[in-house]
Structure 1
Amino acid sequence: MRFFNPARAEPDHIVLDIDGRDVRVEVRRNARARRYSLRLPAAGGGPVLTIPERGTFRTAQRFAEDHRGWLAERMKTMPAARPFLAGGTVPLRGVPHFIEHRPAGRGTVLVVDEEAGPKLVVAGDGPHLPRRLTDFLKKEARADLAEAVERHVGALALAHPSARRPTGLVIRDTRSRWGSCTAQGKLNFSWRLVLAPAFVLDYVAAHEVAHLVEMNHSARFWNVTNALFPETEHARDWLRRYGSDLHSYG
């Protein structure tokens, strides 16, 4: 058996021909992996090929080729990218908003309710529209999450007086998870939660706040989460069904 020699650098990707187009497949070596695996992250991004610690790059290439048909079918089910462009739409708290560009407008982004439906009016030069809209959505996400976290922390303190308070709130563009809580009590969230219906964001906030007393996913943890947010299963089901769509925006 050939062992991986760290002194020999190996490629960090391979290219597969999928239905006539080149698809880059990221290659990762994982010491904890027991087998080769090929996956297409539900949260978005390109295919990832994992090599176990004692695996070989050549075998990984054959594995990817053997599973090319599976990957082609899987890619067909992924949502298409939806860039932030004038004339497009983006959900805000689960409600589709038309994106309108007003170059001569003042300010950055304005929410306008009209009879035809709500709009996000973006001012300034056209090339800056995607960044300005993204910055606006991140700001809205932070405000919504800060309010939800504070509300759940207050409820947690009543039921668990010894519970810690969060040490910080960070907004990111995470792909693998919607939120997390560090051992130090810092709460991290994906800004894309503001695209989902409000109850979904509320659930993720409650989930991470519950980790301030239970740093695990035991039955006790879920009891705390359900006490903070009784619609937990409804929100989890929504994320399973539609969560990957949120990563297609922008």
Structure 2
Amino acid sequence: MLSTGALPVRWNRCARARRISLRIDPRAGAVVVTLPMRAARDAGLALLRTHADWAASRLAALPSAVRFEEGAELMLCGRLHPIRHVPDARRGVWVESGEIRVSGEAGFLRRRVADFLRMEARARLSRLVGEIAASPEAAGGLTPSRLVIKDTATRWGSCSSERVVMFSWRLVMAPPDIQHYVVAHELAHLRHLDHGPHFWALVAELTPHRVVAERWLKHHGASLLRTG
């Protein structure tokens, strides 16, 4: 038992970890204890006890979780949209009069909303990728080999050495300027895989939204991860 009482904890063994570490997973609402392969679980528990107050305060500061259910409000491109269940309709999921409307049985509502947001994310982020890659500032060479949309716990996007670009579907909830920055950031990695001065100079050419986007994600990113 910790001094702060019971805390939700997830244990993670990682071959790449060189030391025991703690982080908060906003999506799960839990403390993640990462252990190197040979580290003892007791050592992780000792570190958690040492930082129990920090973990408890960080968990308490998380925004309330938003579930995909009737009446809940979720963001789409930075604007709140209430979910309205329309069981007798035959349109799947669609946006009308500022609402996200969902047809069919109530038991399928959560999955249908999640699928809708993933499809919206792919459509909107794919369009942004095309627009930025075709811009004069890109000067060619910023087209990924593949675009992947998935759910992630820590990253809004990534770029591999194979030129595969990945984005979190949750970005579709963020305002357009934030989406633009994250897409530009990852496309810039197609030319510069590091975060050196040449990389940041290219980012500045591709998007004017870096400062606003980084601040917005710092303050509101947890809300996106707590939605679903």
In 1, distance between residues paired with 2:169 and 2:34?
28
Please tell me whether residue 119 in structure 1 is matched to residue 104 in structure 2.
no
In 2, distance between residues paired with 1:199 and 1:18?
43
Alignment partner of 1:73 out of 30, 49, 57: 57
Shift of 1:232: 1.5
| Deviations, residues 116-149 of structure 1 (Å, cap 9, x unaligned) | xx11110000010011111111111111101100
Please tell me whether residue 181 in structure 1 is matched to residue 166 in structure 2.
no
In 1, distance between residues paired with 2:108 and 2:3?
34
- Asked if the contact 2:4–2:52 (Cα under 8 Å) also holds between the matched residues in 1, the reply is no
- Asked if the contact 1:30–1:52 (Cα under 8 Å) also holds between the matched residues in 2, the reply is yes
Alignment partner of 2:34 out of 50, 60, 63: 50
- CA change 1:17–1:149 in 2 (3 A) is same
For structure 2, the residue ranges without an aligned partner over 5 or more in a row are none
- Greater Rg over alpha carbons, structure: 1
Matches within 5 A, 1:15-164: 21=6, 23-29=8-14, 31-34=16-19, 36-42=20-26, 45-52=29-36, 55-113=39-97, 118-155=98-135, 159-161=138-140, 163-164=141-142
Query: What TM-score, normalized to structure 2?
Result: 0.91
* Stretch deviating more after TM superposition (168-177 or 46-55): 46-55
SS in 1 for 2:25: coil
Matches within 5 A, 1:181-220: 181-220=159-198
Match of 2:144 in 1: 166
Match of 2:210 in 1: 232
SS in 2 for 1:78: coil
Match of 1:245 in 2: 223
| Deviations, residues 151-172 of structure 1 (Å, cap 9, x unaligned) | 111126x6534x2521111110
Shift of 1:42: 5.0
| Deviations, residues 55-93 of structure 1 (Å, cap 9, x unaligned) | 432232222223323222221001221110101111110
In 1, distance between residues paired with 2:38 and 2:147?
39
In 2, distance between residues paired with 1:218 and 1:148?
24
In 1, distance between residues paired with 2:87 and 2:223?
29
- Asked if the contact 1:43–1:243 (Cα under 8 Å) also holds between the matched residues in 2, the reply is no
Aligned residue type for 2:32: V
SS in 2 for 1:47: strand
In 1, distance between residues paired with 2:78 and 2:142?
31
Shift of 1:28: 2.7
* Stretch deviating more after TM superposition (69-78 or 176-185): 69-78
SS in 2 for 1:25: strand
* Stretch deviating more after TM superposition (73-82 or 37-46): 37-46
Q: Percent identity over the alignment?
A: 36
Query: What TM-score, normalized to structure 1?
Result: 0.83
In 2, distance between residues paired with 1:167 and 1:49?
35
- CA change 1:153–1:29 in 2 (3 A) is closer
| Deviations, residues 24-69 of structure 1 (Å, cap 9, x unaligned) | 33243555424x3322135655211133566432232222223323
In 2, distance between residues paired with 1:194 and 1:43?
16
Match of 1:11 in 2: none
In 2, distance between residues paired with 1:88 and 1:18?
35
- Asked if the contact 1:180–1:208 (Cα under 8 Å) also holds between the matched residues in 2, the reply is yes
Aligned residue type for 1:179: G
SS in 2 for 1:155: coil
- Asked if the contact 2:84–2:101 (Cα under 8 Å) also holds between the matched residues in 1, the reply is yes
